[in-house]
Structure 1
């Protein structure tokens, strides 16, 4: 049985597109039907069904191809765990057009350096996000998720509920909200 290439692509948000990563994988020789993807899942989330499928599809002698290491993992421990699993199974790892042998000392060092940079980049993004949110909060621009109902609607919902004539389902239908929203409004 001959070795095959399996591709994996991931984007963090639903607004991002996987087309560029898919095209890169196809240019690297991965057949389109062998590309597994995760859409809207961060690299720090280890529960990634597409990655699990890609890892299940590779066999000894095969190559797992990822456009960039940060698409595979965003932390050194996660990257190491995936690389160690691949080595144990006799699977090669290609990051872009470069094939890395994590079993080789030089390949292992280079892989760990790349994983460290990917983790550093993820940490910087989190730091910048927190800083931006703190600044927006201080300026009054970030107030969190807004209630589904205005203050006036909330008062009316409460008044109607207190009459005893309306069930939670009735109120949800009348105000075009879910039942949990009615319960949250009444609990406030």
Structure 2
């Protein structure tokens, strides 16, 4: 497989205007050209492979780099990540998460990528649980 310098960007967008500007700027800092950026608006898409993500994956050729600013901008759930993984492997697409590059299509890269994604998803879940149990949130939930 040849390694390509082509960078295809993707990001889930939380709200239409401000977040789109912020994520565009983040992808530009990760050296993605505007014409190679793809988006999905979270509230308009059910879980699974979104239209923008499919377009990003389809535009990649073997050795290209799919660039996302952060893990939470790639998938909403661990299931979404699992659904996407075969597409990366089959098409030999490298993955850049906020500047950390993985090659999930070879055994070594897949193992490292899986461990990294598991650690990040675990960290996100811990953070979410912590937020749910914060005194401010708890007080708001009990007062209603």
TM-score bracket relative to the smaller structure: 0.7 to 0.9
> Of the two structures, which has the highest relative contact order with CA contacts closer than 8 Å and spacing of 6 or more?
2
CA-atom RMSD in angstroms: 3.2
1:75 touches 1:116 (CA, 8 Å); kept in 2? no
Cα pair distance change 1:47/1:83, threshold 3 Å: closer
Matched, 1:111 2:113: no
TM-superposition CA deviations, 1:57-77 (whole Å, max 9, x none)? 111111100000111112222
User: C-alpha separation between the residues in 1 aligned to 2:89 and 2:32?
Assistant: 20
Q: Say if 1:124 and 1:16 are closer, same or farther in 2 by CA, change over 3 A.
A: farther
Q: Deviations over 1:75-123 (max 9, x none)?
A: 2222122123202210000001110233422332122212333455567
Query: How far 1:134 moved relative to its partner?
Result: 4.9
How far, CA to CA, are the matches of 2:132 and 2:10 in structure 1? 24
Compute the TM-score of the two structures, normalised by the length of structure 1.
0.58
Structure 1 segments (4+ residues) deviating >4 Å: 119-128, 130-136
The residue aligned with 2:25 is: 23
Q: What is the Cα deviation at residue 21 of structure 1? A: 1.4
Under a length normalisation based on structure 2, what TM-score does the superposition of the two structures give? Answer: 0.74
CA distance in 1, matches of 2:116, 2:17: 32
2:57 corresponds, among 46, 55, 58, to 55
CA distance 1:131–1:65, shift in 2 (3 Å): same
Which stretches in structure 2 are left out of the alignment for 5+ residues?
A: none
Q: How many residues get paired?
A: 136
* Max Rg structure: 1
